[in-house]
Amino acid sequence: MNVFRLTGDLSHLAAIIILLLKIWKSRSCAGISGKSQILFAIVFTTRYLDLLTSFISLYNTCMKVIYIGCSYATVYLIYMKFRATYDGNHDSFRVEFLVVPVGGLAVLINHDFSFLEILWTFSIYLESVAILPQLFMISKTGEAETITTHYLFCLGLYRALYLFNWIWRYYFEGFFDMIAIVAGVVQTVLYCDFFYLYVTKVLKGKKLSLPA
């Protein structure tokens, strides 16, 4: 494992922990898109079904279990425990416009036309756009809490580090996965505008505001 993948994984884990702590400590899921969290839960579920069929390493297995468990814990906190604080009116992105095309694309473009491989491909494509309901929600409300922006920044950093991971693997291991790379680039591009606002406003102590 190279340093880019390790720091990418840690950044991803940090994002998940930041979000869970935010919800639990504030006893509120205000400003959090439940739809994005459901999409992430679907992403991890469909990607890590190989937990039942193969073992790579203890680290790999532990991270997969943590991602799946935390994603469902987040969905539970939003839709069950702190449901009264959930802003469903602003979390109005039509996720079917993401899931249906992504599902069709996974069937058409994949590495191998098998059940697990199609689900893995589906998870890669879906993860690249799963954050859109959250970004859409922020654009509708016009602002985001600082802790939410830290969560989004860590997620974006994770994807950016994984791009460097793929470059490293190509040059030093000869590994190249076009599906994962293209999806990762798309996902990173979605964060670019947010990164600019994060650096110019949040890190200077200003409140993040986005045009509605």
Q: Does residue 111 sit within a domain?
A: yes
Per-residue pLDDT for 126 more than 60? yes
Confirm whether 95 is domain-assigned: yes
Q: Is residue 102 part of a domain?
A: yes
Judge whether residue 204 has pLDDT over 90: no
Q: Is 208 among the domain residues?
A: no
Q: Do the Cβ atoms of 210 and 152 come closer than 8 Å?
A: no
- Tell me the per-residue pLDDT of 90-117, one tens digit each, with 9 for 90 and over: 999 999 999 999 999 999 999 999 999 9
C-alpha separations of 181 from 99, 131, 186 in Å: 20, 17, 9
142-166: per-residue pLDDT in tens? Answer: 666 666 778 888 888 898 899 899 9
For residue 210, is it within any domain? no
Based on the structure, what is the number of domains in the chain?
1
In terms of Cα–Cα distance, which of 188, 154, 156, 184 is closest to 169? Answer: 184
Q: Which residue has the tokens 């509120």?
A: 28
pLDDT(200) > 70? no
Within-domain flag for 206? no
Alpha-carbon distance of 193 to 42, in angstroms, equals 26
Kindly state whether residue 11 falls inside one of the protein's structural domains.
yes
* Lowest-confidence pick of 34-38, 63-67, 112-116, 191-195: 191-195
Q: Decide if 75 is inside a domain.
A: yes
Domain that holds residue 125: 3-201
pTM: 0.89
Largest distance between two CA atoms of the chain: 51
